[in-house]
Amino acid sequence: SFTGSVGVGRNIAIQCVTNHKKVQLEMGGKNPQVVLDDADLAQAVELSVQSAFYSTGQRCTASSRLIVTEGIYPKFIEAMKARMAKIKVGDALAQGTDVGPVSSKSQLNQDMEYIAIGKGEGATLAAGGELLKLETDGYYMSPALFSESAAAMRINKEEIFGPVASVIRVKNYEEALATANDTEFGLSAGIATTSLKYATHFKRHSQAGMVMVNLPTAGVDYHVPFGGRKGSSYGPREQGKYAQEFFTTVKTAYTLA
């Protein structure tokens, strides 16, 4: 049972199949958070901030693509900037800290490289993305938000695994769903809406293993199946009865009475 990168996971799968071993893989994600025009703005902003930046964005279920319909887009950007200004970055063990340091120097360098890539691709750095020097040693940066990004940009295709999110403007729900599914990954997805019609349709047609409605994409209960589709997962789900079955060898025995 492996959790990590797609490349390593594929190599493990090859070895396991060759040697007739069970294999369970949880790999990358480029999870979408859809925000529709009818969404509660405050709720949509809060769940987007938590999904994208809490745990320093270093969760496989974190949302790094915020797909927002054009009617609510301007208000969403401004509200996100205002909310992000209140995020406290600091020692992860200190009371009141919202976002701790990045896990390592190499990961921090990767985060900053992707911020440079986003700028080079033409996206607008709307907030954050700065290196921070704090009293406590650590690899600190302010969470970064890109606006005016396009779905084809690298920052919207490749997993960054840090507190970096980008906003993609779309016309309507149909384009939002298509954009959300336009990825090689399929772990977690979310939608912010007050429409039962769109919420129900998204739960059915989102190409992800886990779907959230008006909730952050990161964070699931331990008793429910955990896993995704496409390049995100391979083999049985983790957690719950699926994990129990994975770690069990089934034997059928007959006895003549």
Separation of alpha carbons 140 and 122, rounded Å: 25
70, 72, 73, 74 alpha-carbon torsion, rounded to 10°? 120
* CA distances from residue 116 to 52, 91, 167, 229 in whole angstroms, order as listed: 19, 26, 16, 30
Q: Kindly name the residue from 16, 46, 60, 113 that is annotated as catalytic.
A: 60
Separation of alpha carbons 3 and 232, rounded Å: 10
Q: Kindly name the residue from 26, 78, 113, 158 that is annotated as catalytic.
A: 26
Q: What is the CA 9 to chain-centroid distance, rounded?
A: 18
Q: For this structure, is 113 an active site residue?
A: no
Q: Where are the beta strands (DSSP E) in 30-142?
A: 31-35, 63-69, 124-127, 131-132, 140-141
Tell me which DSSP letter residue 122 carries.
T
Separation of alpha carbons 241 and 234, rounded Å: 17
Question: By C-alpha distance, which of 173, 160, 172 is closest to 205?
Answer: 173
Number of other residues whose CB lies within 10 A of the CB of residue 127: 21
Strand partners, 230: none
* CA distances from residue 91 to 10, 56, 97, 125, 145 in whole angstroms, order as listed: 35, 12, 7, 25, 22
Q: For this structure, is 60 an active site residue?
A: yes
Residues involved in catalysis: 26, 60
